[in-house]
Homo-oligomer: A and B are copies of this chain.
Amino acid sequence: MRLSQLLFPTLRDDPKEAQVVSHRLMLRAGMIRQNVAGIYTWLPMGLRVLRKIEGIVREEMAAIGCGELLMPTLQPAELWQESGRYDSYGKEMLRIKDRHERDLLYGPTNEEMITALVRDCKPSYRDMPKLAYHIQWKFRDEIRPRFGVMRGREFLMKDAYSFAADKAGAEAAYESFFMAYLKIFSRLGVTAVPVRAATGPIGGDLSHEFHILAETGESQVYVDKAYFAENVNELMFTKAKGYYAAADELHDPSQCPIPPEQLATKRGIEVGHIFYFGTKYSAAMGATVTVANAQSVPLEMGAYGIGVSRLVGALIEAHHDAGGIRWPVSVAPYRLAIVAAKPDDEDSVSKAEQIYRNLSQLDGDVLFDDRPERMGTKLADLELLGIPHVFVVGPKGLENGMVDWKERASGKTTAVPLAGLEHLYAHF
């Protein structure tokens, strides 16, 4: 894409309303604009990151046989009256009346809706287990929205649900999501720690929060140091689950099973939560399955969330420096940007354009900074935005058939031959 065609309103100064670094950087790098408290427009650069995160989540959901569907943002109140949560949910639920005075609500989560859907599909034992997810905007009317997209009111979430005929099936589903989550966060370029979470009245240890580590994280996390040496792709569930990891509220030093010298103390940001809750919704809403002996039993359910829009902020909290954002390549708005060093030098501009066209044909992940700005402004904007690789095309280099390759992560600049650019790009 040509940058001149996009809405990309960068800001030189830190906006006053932003308290955390990710919020500041997202506003300064022209990724988002606030419309009203906790509700944002995602500008082209922000949206691309959001979509890339979605893409990785989708691939890992497909890999465990989890089917995608899409439930609506608005839900009828009756569903929540069936489960008993309509009255108990409190003021975070945005309640709405339509023109016929019918009670609707903007879904803050979808347990009720998916339970009703599966119930109405009348599943048989042979259809089990069933894993389904959607990626949809949700609304929680936070009393004090803050930290930008980290705690917005309208937010994008991936929520998955599993349905099984028995507890063993539910546990197997839980295991696949647990491992899929480790892979997702690893592909997003961050270390995620699965932390045991309170399971409430159901008990057991089948609830985990996933925290990604960042110095600015909101909660304290205590983790067995050995966990960090593990390779996610080789790790088994039993072992992964076995590592000690706890957040503030559940960590009691006097009860901790591992010695203090073996314990790392880190800051974390919660970006995922998985939960086995058995028949809580299925029993209340009559979502049953007919098992072998013609008996009807309520479905064993689990729910698995990832805060997709929150992750954009959380990844920035984990990856930034004084110059701006440092995106992992997998989620950068574009992997590569191309800049002509002198906008008034026709030769280098047309060469830059030619390189842009060639590489664009390989895939659409190249940005051409064709804005009528000075090179210094362009490079500062691209650094702020965190584009991992930049090719600077200038008359001096071209004399020797070279362009400058700037790497965001290392800050290094290397002269590379024109002939090798395609090959280089393919390895970014």
Residues of A whose CB lies within 8 Å of any CB of B are 1-2, 4-7, 9, 33, 35-36, 39-44, 47, 50, 62, 65-76, 91-92, 94, 96, 98-99, 102, 104, 106, 113, 117-118, 120-122, 126-127, 130-132, 137, 139, 141, 143, 153-154, 364, 372
Tell me if A141 and B98 are in contact (CB < 8 A). yes
Q: How many copies does the complex hold?
A: 2
User: 20 additional contacts, CB 8 Å, given A39-B72, A44-B67, A47-B69?
Assistant: A2-B65, A5-B65, A5-B67, A7-B67, A7-B69, A7-B118, A7-B121, A7-B130, A35-B71, A36-B74, A39-B74, A39-B76, A41-B72, A42-B71, A44-B69, A62-B364, A72-B137, A73-B73, A74-B139, A99-B143
Tell me if A44 and B65 are in contact (CB < 8 A). no
What is the CA–CA distance of A76 and B75 in the complex, to the nearest angstrom? Answer: 21
- CB contacts (< 8 Å) of A364 on chain B: these are 62
Q: Can you list 11 pairs linking A and B with CB atoms under 8 Å apart?
A: A5-B131, A7-B69, A7-B130, A33-B120, A35-B71, A36-B76, A41-B72, A73-B154, A91-B99, A92-B99, A126-B372
Tell me if B70 and A41 are in contact (CB < 8 A). yes
Q: Which of B62, B121, B127 contacts A4 (CB 8 A)?
A: B127
Minimum C-beta distance from A141 to chain B (A): 5
What is the CA–CA distance of A412 and B92 in the complex, to the nearest angstrom? Answer: 56
What is the CA–CA distance of A338 and B173 in the complex, to the nearest angstrom? Answer: 26
Tell me if A44 and B68 are in contact (CB < 8 A). yes
What is the CA–CA distance of A74 and B73 in the complex, to the nearest angstrom? Answer: 11
Tell me if B104 and A71 are in contact (CB < 8 A). no
